[in-house]
Amino acid sequence: MVRKHIIAHGRVQGVGFRYICHSIATECKVTGWIQNNYDGTVEMEIQGAPHRVDMYIEKVSKGNRFVRVRSLDIFDIPPLRALEEKGFRIKY
């Protein structure tokens, strides 16, 4: 089990990016959270099996015709215990 703290840069606010990430997290079976930051970036934490987290990062970095991910700052952080987090949530 691994956990990553990620900051996304680019056109990632006002284009549905958090909802796309939620859908990708469900597809990849990872847990965590995501939120907009005041500086225009989007911050998230993702946890799961290493191959699932890698798959999530790969899919998120591609964006779509509205979302343009310029770069991702990715940091390893200690995983939470399984009981501490269930699912993936969007913070407001």
Catalytic positions are: 18, 36
Question: Which of 51, 69, 47, 49 lies closest to 60 in space, CA to CA?
Answer: 69
Within 8 A by CB and 6+ apart from 8, the residues are 17, 41, 42, 43, 44, 60, 69, 71, 72
The order of strands in the sheet holding 31-36 is 68-77, 2-11, 42-48, 31-36, 88-90
